[in-house]
Structure 1
């Protein structure tokens, strides 16, 4: 069965939900990365960006928001339209929302390597092998010194420790990783290596199954 990714976003409206708590944590981490970013222009890409809730409100409120050129890639046309409206109403002309297959590397070529790479709501909906492949691609999407923000539930089997190992293998250092006790799975990794050339025409992952709609993925 195909998931309704527009309806899935409705759970963010419940301030007590785990999805809302995860969203708040992701936003805090993005704001912290902007606080520490060097002066000058910055680039951001967001995979499976949904309605842009992770990034757009942070850029709208942060002093560095105007320095960021961003490309958000999302397939559902309803989510795309909401994200475009949010960016426009926030006065963020540097934020582009593209309707397309977020798994395809070509979608990000104009803005990579990027200073901020968002992979939120992805790792809980793809196979472990595709998680590994996507982490590897992050070493092409992310600039040296840039930051990847990712999410993955902490339910059994908990893949988060292994994901952290994969990031380390590809030249990333952990900045912050939420614990199982926190009830949300948010990871932040900084890239210390040299970006690999971005493979054109590559598919990083394929969504599988149907997520638990009231729980973060």
Structure 2
């Protein structure tokens, strides 16, 4: 999969991915607006080009408060993320070219105020989705948010994902309408953060085109 080419769908006004990006960015802006004063930490798993957060921070009033770590394996997308951050003067953005499944890549940034899991759940198994959700109390501070996405192709996993979050003291704050082909959710953590367990694998990246039920997903994840 050429993930740089995949990201080009975000620039197509007719693409549902473009609408998904705008929804996610709106939630990111809301989460930053509602966060307490002071320094904020944001981490993004499988961050791609970082557009979910970088395009928001470019003109956000709290941009200087926000420390960001983007973890992405594709080096080409990492270079584009670094260039975008530099062009916007976002010196506090760290782009890590590494395996986002490895828990140690989030050390020093947890518990975070905002955790972005956008574009990942459509590329991993159900068991691994639940494993990532189960790790979120290690990633997120009390009162912090997780913003996540998952396509709604049958069998639709969005309700199940909400349930997994809510079983772990995450309160649902927003969920996209069922008519939209992507589930986009924001959950707020009401529990107590857990220590980050280092040296753990959070998931195995399969790819939407290789998952048994996603063979006809036409680029959605």
TM-score tier by shorter-chain length is over 0.9
Greater Cα offset, 206-215 or 12-21: 206-215
Aligned to 1:26: 24
Structure 1 gap ranges (5+): none
Q: 1:213 to 1:7 in 2, by over 3 A?
A: farther
Partners of 1:159 and 1:21 in 2: how far apart?
20
**Is structure 2 residue 220 aligned with structure 1 residue 216?**
yes
Post-superposition Cα deviations, 1:143-179, rounded to whole Å, max 9, x if no partner, equal 1100001000011100010110100111100010112
TM-score if structure 2 supplies the norm length?
A: 0.94
Question: After alignment, is 166-175 or 205-214 more displaced?
Answer: 205-214
Secondary structure at the counterpart of residue 165 of structure 1: helix
Q: Where does residue 193 of structure 1 map in the other structure?
A: 191
Which of 34, 37, 52 is the matching residue for 2:35? 37
Specify the alignment match of 1:180 in structure 2.
Answer: 178
Q: Structure 1 residue 184: deviation in Å? A: 2.4
Out of 156, 159, 181, the position equivalent to 1:161 is 159
Three-state SS of the structure 2 residue aligned to 1:46 is strand
Matched residues, number = 215
Correspondence for 2:6: 8
Write the distance in 2 (CA, Å) between the matches of 1:42 and 1:137: 20
The correspondence of residues 1-217 of structure 1 with structure 2, limited to 5 A, is: 3-211=1-209, 215-217=219-221
* Secondary structure, aligned partner of 1:133: helix
Is the contact between residue 153 and residue 181 of structure 2 (CA under 8 Å) also seen in structure 1?
no
Asked if 2 retains the 8 angstrom alpha-carbon contact of 1:139 and 1:196, the reply is yes
Q: Which protein has greater RCO, CA pairs closer than 8 Å, 6+ apart?
A: 1
8 Å Cα contact 1:142/1:191 also seen in 2: yes
SS in 2 for 1:189: strand
SS of residue paired to 1:206: coil
Cα distance in 2 between the residues matched to 1:191 and 1:215: 31
Alpha-carbon distance between aligned partners in 1 of 2:117 and 2:93, rounded to the nearest angstrom: 17
Question: Could you report, residue by residue, the CA deviation over 1:2-47 in whole angstroms, capped at 9, with x for unpaired residues?
Answer: x221111111110110110100000000001111111111000000
Shift of 1:183: 2.8
SS at match of 2:77: helix
